[in-house]
Amino acid sequence: MLVSATEMLKKAKAGKYAVGQFNINNLEWTKSVLLTAQELKSPVILGVSEGAGKYMTGFKTVAAMVKAMDEELGITVPVALHLDHGTYEGCYKCIKAGFTSVMFDGSHYPIEENIEKTKELVAVSHALGLSIEAEVGSIGGEEDGVIGAGECADPDECKAIADLGVDMLAAGIGNIHGKYPENWAGLSFETLDAIQQKTGIMPLVLHGGTGIPEDMIKKAISLGVAKINVNTECQLSFADATRKYVEAGKDLEGKGFDPRKLLAPGAEAIKATVKEKMELFGSVGKAE
């Protein structure tokens, strides 16, 4: 059931668990995430970066595929189709294409400009029933060419953006996209605590979910994180399972080269990763 992310995140924040955002890259990814969410009776957010949208030939294609797949698979759990790290123009494209949620990442603008653009997009999104995520303090690392230095957000700036009526707020707390380096300092719970105190019931978003240790995930949820984004980890599981299949020569046996067979271990690996994350985030059974 395609919906905005507003209600599922309000419930998650109140119930002290987090909804996973899993980024999608193609049909297999989408199918694996939707089937796992349905099996586990968990709400879910499908994240689409601008790069992934372009890869899939455009946001209209993505929206049409997700809508149709949701129907054909008989998905009854709440599913939000969400633009990840959207530009100003990208948000308008997704709103028009039929997404149910957008993220406007204005973290690289001066705060006044971030506020101005976020405010406009909040009004447009809400008028059309979409939920909207904003960002303060950039997330480190690289994702689809978007590079962030990973500074911690200023709690006062978080409050200024939260007051605009966004539905979820991504705030940098030392998290980065991709694999964490050996010398990573960890999440700044002090910053997260200060942000939650300023922003109250606002569902907070933790980007860079790949590789964050379980205890840190649990602590972040206890301090107001209600949405956690995972991208790289599904890519790694998919690549690993596909490599094993090819290295074992399975593509050379019988009709093992059939894409439905070749991509099956990767698709199963994505399901296993999504399941593991949903269990850790505490969202299993919350859509019953």
- Does position 51 interact with ligand 13P (CB under 6 A)? The reply is no
- Does position 178 interact with ligand 13P (CB under 6 A)? The reply is yes
Read off the tokens for 139: 């997330």
* Phi–psi pair at 227, nearest 5 degrees: -145, 130
Which candidate in 70, 84, 105, 154 is catalytic? 84
- Does position 273 interact with ligand 13P (CB under 6 A)? The reply is no
Angle between helical axes of 214-222 and 189-199 (0-180°, round to 10): 20
- Does position 210 interact with ligand 13P (CB under 6 A)? The reply is yes
Count of residues making up the chain: 288
The least distance separating ligand 13P from the CB of residue 24, rounded to whole angstroms, comes to 11
Beta bridge partners of 46: 22, 81
Read off the tokens for 169: 């707020």
Nearer to ligand 13P, 4 or 237 (CB): 237
- Does position 224 interact with ligand 13P (CB under 6 A)? The reply is no
The single residue among 11, 13, 31, 177 that binds ligand 13P, judged by CB under 6 A, is 177
- Does position 230 interact with ligand 13P (CB under 6 A)? The reply is yes
Judge whether 156 counts as a catalytic residue: no
Q: Which of 239, 217, 214 is nearest to 228 (CA)?
A: 217
Measure the CA–CA gap between 89 and 108, rounded to whole angstroms.
15
Supply the DSSP symbol for 98.
Answer: T
Of 71-79, 186-194, 230-238, 259-267: span binding ligand 13P (CB under 6 A): 230-238
HSE-CB for 14 with a 13 A CA cutoff: 7
Nearer to ligand 13P, 135 or 245 (CB): 135
> Which of the residues are catalytic?
84
In the complex, the residues that contact ligand 13P under the rule CB under 6 A are 23, 47, 84-85, 143, 177-178, 207-210, 229-233
